[in-house]
Amino acid sequence: MMIDLHKLAAMLQQLDDQMVTCMKCGMCQAVCPVFRETLREADVTRGKIALLENLAHEMIADAKGVQEKLNKCLLCGSCQANCPSGVAIMDIFLKARIIVNSYLGLPAAKKVIFKAMLTKPRLFNALVAMGEKFQGLLASPADDLLGSSCSKIMSPLIGDRHFLPLAETSFHKIVPKLDTPAGRSGLKVAFFPGCVIDKMLPRVGEAVLKVLRHHGVGVYLPPAQACCGIPAVSSGDSESFGKLVRLNVKAFAKGQFDHLVTACATCTATIKEIWPKFMDDYSPDMQVKIRQLVDKTMDINQFLVDRVGVQSQPAPTGGTRVTYHDPCHLKKSLGVSDQPRTLLKANPAYNFVEMSEADQCCGNGGTFNIQHYDVSRRIGDRKRDNILASNAEVVAAGCPACMMQLTDMLSQHGDRIRVCHPVEIYAQTLIGGSR
């Protein structure tokens, strides 16, 4: 793999400029979910920044070791949200991963996933369609209420996880495309489902469309949407990330809409927070198009409460108890916390109860869950304990990845607690109930 030494040197200089504001105060220790479990300085932000301050030398001495230390991070943003110096920690970590990846090259498996699959949406969808047909041969149901599965055959790959299976029919097959005019709301949105909703949780996508239709909101849903890019950029693959951004900008370019909404906290944060960080990688014309899309992007909970005007209802007596987990990318990155709770309280059949540590990370972290499942599970078990302590019958989360992690933790313990998206619970109040 050829390395662009000039670009590498420029990125190293950018890191130096950004890290100089870190005072090494250690506040990150108090909020880092990984450090709380391991108590290792190398696993907390301060330790990683100390490593990065001499990154060029460290890469030459032990590039693999540097990569392992950088990857042992959830990218949850807890440290950045609580940093008294305002250090752009997520920016630093993402760029550092790109630098190390440029030096080492992508592992073979990630190269296949990112470059040969994710950046080719039609091929990716075709491969997933094959998986939908044959997954029953490899996995068996684990919990009927949660819809989770487990697999003895694939245990060397997935361990003891209780995972969400692929949906029988992907969302993009249920609704291949859509372009409806604004109704009584006078608003029209573009809808970005994201990979997990499309492939595993199409019911969430259907709930979104149902709610938008009920409120007279027009919807533009273009075909050929791609992944938001977070798996690629968090693994240091800036090339695949750039391709995915361009694919999505092209997919939405033909539509006229007021906002782009997603029901995935990670997708929303990626578009609004991470896409702009790499503007220099695009042409001036593409930069304008990206900025226009970024400025229009909103979380679905935020859109329904702040723009449509959904309001909470009086709490019922003896209603179904529901609690809420704050996804890190929604609360810590975007400051969206009250709106999902308002949406849950808008269903008069539910009684909202707050859990302890609602905004503590659930431990998923995308590829972190794959590479460090032991730590991921310990963090997830703490979240599960807080859910149980709330005596809730349902736990809601505005992020499909968090929903996957909560499902895994609850299913493994045999807890009879449903996992839902807030928009699903709100959709139940509308004519016809939820699907």
Distance of CA 167 to the CA centre of its chain: 19
CB 387 within 8 A of CB 355: yes
Rg (Cα) of the chain, in Å, rounded?
Answer: 21
Out of 3.50.50.60, 3.40.50.2300, 1.10.1040.10, 1.10.1060.10, select the CATH number for domain 5-105: 1.10.1060.10
* CA nearest neighbour of 97 among 228, 280, 237, 240: 237
Percent of the chain with pLDDT over 90: 71
What is the tens place of the pLDDT at every residue in 173-210? Answer: 999 999 999 999 999 999 999 999 999 999 999 999 99
What SS3 class is residue 115?
Answer: helix
Query: CA 109 to CA 118: how far, in whole Å?
Result: 12
What is the tens place of the pLDDT at every residue in 47-83? Answer: 999 888 888 788 878 888 988 999 999 999 999 999 9
Q: Residue 158: what pLDDT?
A: 65
What SS3 class is residue 292?
Answer: helix
Q: Residue 72: what pLDDT?
A: 94
Q: Residue 354: what pLDDT?
A: 98
What is the tens place of the pLDDT at every residue in 114-136? Answer: 998 999 999 999 988 888 777 76
Q: Residue 157: what pLDDT?
A: 55
Q: Residue 435: what pLDDT?
A: 37
pLDDT averaged over 10-residue windows placed end to end, the chain, 435 residues: 63 83 90 94 92 83 89 94 92 91 86 90 90 70 72 57 88 96 97 96 98 98 95 94 97 96 97 94 95 97 98 88 97 96 96 97 92 94 98 97 95 94 96 47
151: Cα within 13 Å, side-chain hemisphere: 16
Q: Residue 274: what pLDDT?
A: 96
Q: Residue 433: what pLDDT?
A: 42
Out of 1.10.150.130, 3.40.50.1860, 3.40.630.10, 3.40.50.620, select the CATH number for domain 310-427: 3.40.50.1860
Q: Residue 57: what pLDDT?
A: 80
Q: Residue 432: what pLDDT?
A: 47
Q: Residue 54: what pLDDT?
A: 84
Q: Residue 138: what pLDDT?
A: 61
pTM, two decimal places: 0.92
Q: Residue 159: what pLDDT?
A: 67
Q: Residue 2: what pLDDT?
A: 47
| Residue 10 Cα distances to 16, 59, 276, 392, angstroms | 10, 16, 18, 51
Domain with CATH 3.40.50.1860 in the chain: 310-427
Q: Residue 3: what pLDDT?
A: 55
Domain with CATH 1.10.1060.10 in the chain: 5-105
Q: Phi and psi (nearest 5°) for 410?
A: -70, -40
